Structure 1
Amino acid sequence: MERAGKAIASELLKHYNFNQKSVLVFCGPGNNGGDGLVISRILKEKKINTTTVIAGAKKYSEDFLKNLEKLKLVSDKIYLYKPVASLKSVNPITEEELENIIAHSNVELIVDSLLGTGQKSPPKGAIKEIIEIINRSLPNNTQITAVDMPTGFNTDSGEVYTPHLRANLTVCIELIKKGMFQYPARDICGKIVTVSIGINCSKGTSAFILDQKTAPYLPKRAPWAHKGDFGPSLIIAGSRNMPGASALAAKAALKAGCSLVTCAYPEKVPALEQLLIPEVIRAPLPDNNKGYFTEDSLPFLKNKLANFKSVAVGCGIGSEK
């Protein structure tokens, strides 16, 4: 938590000047919120005007409480929205007071440290109310930075919940989370950067960006391998009105590593993939002169499907019967 908070605070100092402006850090009850407390403490130690708002909850993580005590040593601007018995020592703040701080305190940056990984349902309780207050009170020029991920989306599927926060910058710890590659979640993450805190993420990684560092993790191909070892793949695509669909699908298959690609398309459709990608095998299917797949196309498919290791079907086939 200390390393995560320090790494993210360092990233914030790279992106923002904080000249005579303030920072507002919102913390949830878990470890993501604990990261926010560390960020608040470090910014405060840098003489940056920082206010911390904690969401009321039934329970707080042990590390969260430890970092709260550390923050109290350097800051007296710590508030609790929706007071709870477990945090009696933190000054309560009302909805009206919170709206006033957001709208009229010359806030340059809001740090979203409310919820982290494992978001599987819409925000509830105090966190839900805080999001709604931020969204209706936020000045146009105030930026939002999310700690590890914005609050309010499913980190696996990319589903965005109501309510949610839209970040201008998301600082991910070690890895970009899988849901961030998918829309609509990608749209609420803003610019995405990663920071390292020394965690070994070589195992259990299900999504990553392909670059010079990650490319070596892809399976290596033997020098004597041939095109039959990486396929064969069948694409069933295209129609009279969408002849380019098979070409686009074939390009994608080849780019993904399929070396032996066959395109099945209605025979009255121009074979664009043959003109654009000569290495693709053509398989025009009977279509009764209609320009889209019909029952006449089925015999080939039934007889040949067993010859392919993967099949992509549906691109541009239309809805005609």
Structure 2
Amino acid sequence: MQKYYFPADIRRADVIAAEECGVPSVVLMENAAKSAAREAGLLADGARGPFVVLAGVGNNGGDGFAAARHLLIGGADVVVLKCADDGRYKNDAAVNLSILRRLKSEKLRICDTPEMTDAEISALLDEAACVIDGLLGTGTTGAPRKEAARLLALLDGYENIVALDIPSGIDPASGAVYEPCAKAAVTVTFLAPKFGMAFEPAKSVCGKVVTADIGVPPFALLPEEPALTLLTGGDMRGFMPELPRDVHKTQRGNVLIIAGSAEYRGAPLLVARGALRAGAGLVFLAVPEFIAPYSSEKLPEAIVVPLAVKGGEILSRDAENVLSEIAPKCASVVAGPGCGRSDGADELFVWLWHRCALPMLLDADMLWFFARHRAELPPRGDVLLTPHSAEAGRILGMSAAEVDSQRAECARKLTYKTGNALLKGRDTLVASGCSLKMIGAGSPVLAVPGSGDTLSGIIGAFIASGMSVGDAAAAGALAHATAGEALEAKRGVRGTLATEIADEIPSILR
């Protein structure tokens, strides 16, 4: 589990450390620099040539000066390229520059880049064992300008860059990447990773991220709820409740699934299989009556509930009566996969929203109805939307590309009526209340027909087990993603079926 914070939270923590704990800011800079120098040495891995430090005029440059000192003391040749004269450096950065100048080592060169040509700077970069980017920190906004922009443009193409805190040229709050920017092999981020570093394209620009402890007490990092929590496979244990040895099937949590149509007869089976493999007790599979026999034959473990139809469409009144009798036996509802967009399905959506009190997952066609009726729906806090980018765009009045460019903001917007949303795609996001989680697992294996149906069933089972809707969404997405990784390790990325994803879930939960 990795926690990401907004840059303002990190700056506030530095202030608390200084004002309430008496930790001087120059000490925090010293600790940061030690970690950065260590990582630079590891990246250089004995390569010949000097360590070249690019130092901007802010505290990021001060980190660079201090890192240069530690490398110098360790016996390395160091070239410091600072983008302004000494008088521009203030406070802790000025202190560390002054110390560096007093060392007077033959292994140290300090140069002002405004007095150098591009060719002179590039010649130094070419021979560097490692380049340390200390140009722009988290306090800068917008695209790099002036001398910093010139130096960053000259860095293009180098693969031996260590960035201090963030790579220069990225927005640590949004994940936007400006031109020019430093594409780092390693980013040594101080105290905690910044929110924007979790998202593409900034994520790729950061390279390997190493978090450096700089001496800030844990209680100084406020708020307690981070801006984003990244979940990986090992975090599954934190979600799963203990199962008593004498558990009865009805104590596992029963799931009601409403799915299927003439065109999509397999979707209900995939949802039910996912729910059963994730540990659900009884699974009530409510499907149009003409596919009920097929469903019973293919998945005898499910209790198939036929819904009356006319002209191929569900008769909503009859369905409501049937579901009213079954719902009290269940602890969650999954509705939408393959159900179609008939008038009967539309009326059933409205009934579910207003009359069904169970926590509910809406997927596929039910998301279409949600978008259609969203304006007049009263808010609920126990509903989970599970759209991909195009479905989310339909709900929010945006294009899929616009959703992908601001995924965190869109995930939060999706919760306004429901309390919970799972935005599918690369780096799946789960928003619930003030919490935002990213799934840090996954595989191309999962990009197959029916994979989302299986995911809905897994989450439905977790909700029925007693988890909160938000935790069930995160745990379900994590189990699904980890199953994809396991299947890729066994078979490669081609040829996996959605049923096989479901069948891998027990091993993941074990």
Normalising by structure 2, what TM-score? 0.46
Q: Which residue number corresponds to residue 214 of structure 2?
A: 197
CA distance in 2, matches of 1:180, 1:262: 39
Q: Give 2:191's aligned residue.
A: 174
Q: Does the 8 Å CA contact 1:151/1:164 hold for their aligned counterparts?
A: yes
The one-letter amino acid paired with 1:299 is E
Equivalent in 145, 148, 168 of residue 165 of structure 2: 148
Could you list the structure 1 runs, at least 4 aligned residues long, displaced by more than 6 angstroms after superposition: 211-216, 218-223, 259-262, 316-319
CA contact (8 A) 1:262 1:283 kept: yes
After TM superposition, the structure 1 = structure 2 runs for residues 153-232 of structure 1, keeping only pairs within 5 Å, are 153-202=170-219, 203-204=222-223, 205-210=226-231
User: Which residue of structure 1 aligns with residue 111 of structure 2?
Assistant: 79
CA distance in 1 between counterparts of 2:239 and 2:216 reads 23
2:65 pairs with one of 37, 46, 52: 37
CA distance in 2, matches of 1:263, 1:161: 46
CA offset at residue 67 of structure 1? 1.0
- The CA distance in 1 between the partners of 2:130 and 2:166, in whole Å, is 16
Residue 155 of structure 2 corresponds to residue 134 of structure 1 = yes
SS in 1 for 2:349: helix
Flag structure 2 segments of 5+ consecutive residues without an equivalent: 1-28, 244-252, 289-308, 315-337, 360-381, 394-510
What is the CA–CA distance in structure 2 between the aligned matches of 1:283 and 1:314, rounded to whole Å? Answer: 22
Q: Which moved more, 1:8-17 or 1:161-170?
A: 8-17
What CA distance in whole angstroms lies between the structure 1 residues aligned with 2:156 and 2:72? 25
SS in structure 2 opposite 1:121? coil
Deviations 1:25-71 (A, max 9, x none): 11111111110110011111222111011123895332111111111
Seen in structure 2, the aligned counterparts of structure 1 residues 27 and 16 have a Cα distance that, compared at 3 Å, is: same
Q: CA deviation at 1:145?
A: 0.8
- Partner of residue 305 from structure 1, selected from 353, 361, 366: 353
Judge conservation of contact 2:51–2:130 (CA < 8 Å) in 1.
yes
Q: What letter corresponds to residue 80 of structure 1 in structure 2?
A: D
Distance 2:39 2:205 in 1: 19
Indicate conservation of the 8 Å contact 2:339/2:345, yes or no. no
Instruction: Please state whether the residue corresponding to 1:170 is helix, strand or coil.
Output: strand
> Aligned partner of 1:13: which letter?
G
Higher helix share: 2
Distance 1:146 1:282, change over 3 A: farther
Secondary structure class of the residue paired with 2:82: strand
Deviation at 1:179, TM superposition (A): 1.4
User: Quick one: structure 1 residues 296 and 211, their matched pair in 2 at CA, closer, same or farther if it must change by over 3 Å?
Assistant: closer
Tell me how far apart the structure 1 counterparts of residues 390 and 46 of structure 2 sit (CA, whole Å): 55
Q: Which AA in structure 2 matches 1:115?
A: L
Matched-pair contact (CA < 8 Å) for 2:176–2:202: yes
Question: Are 1:25 and 1:50, in contact at CA under 8 Å, matched by a contact in 2?
Answer: yes
Letter paired with 1:277: A
Q: Could you say which residue in structure 2 is the equivalent of 1:11?
A: 39
Which residue in 2 is equivalent to 1:54? 82
Tell me the equivalent position of 2:493.
none
C-alpha contact 2:43 2:160 (8 A) present in aligned 1? no
Question: Identity of paired residues, percent?
Answer: 24
Secondary structure of 2:353's match?
helix
Given candidates 99, 108, 114, the residue that maps to 2:122 is 99
Q: Secondary structure at the match of 2:177?
A: coil
Task: State the AA in 1 paired with 2:155.
Answer: I
CA apart distance, 1:2: 1.4
* 8 A Cα contact 2:174 2:195, kept in partner: yes
TM-superposition CA deviations, 1:195-253 (whole Å, max 9, x none): 2122124432323445899999x899999xxxxxxxxxxxxxxxxxxxxxxxxxxxxxx
Q: Does 1:63 align with 2:92?
A: yes
Compared CA separation, residues 273 and 118, structure 1 to 2 (3 A):
farther
Number of residue pairs matched by the alignment: 269
Structure 2 CA distance, aligned partners of 1:52 and 1:40?
7
Q: 1:6 to 1:41 in 2, by over 3 A?
A: same
More displaced stretch, 203-212 vs 264-273: 203-212
Shift of 1:120: 3.5
Given that residues 44 and 160 in structure 2 are in contact (C-alpha distance below 8 angstroms), is that contact kept between their aligned partners in structure 1? no
Specify the code of the residue in structure 2 equivalent to 1:6: K
- What is the rounded CA distance, in whole Å, between the counterparts of 2:386 and 2:180 in structure 1? 36
**Contact between 1:292 and 1:317, CA under 8 Å: does it hold in 2?**
no
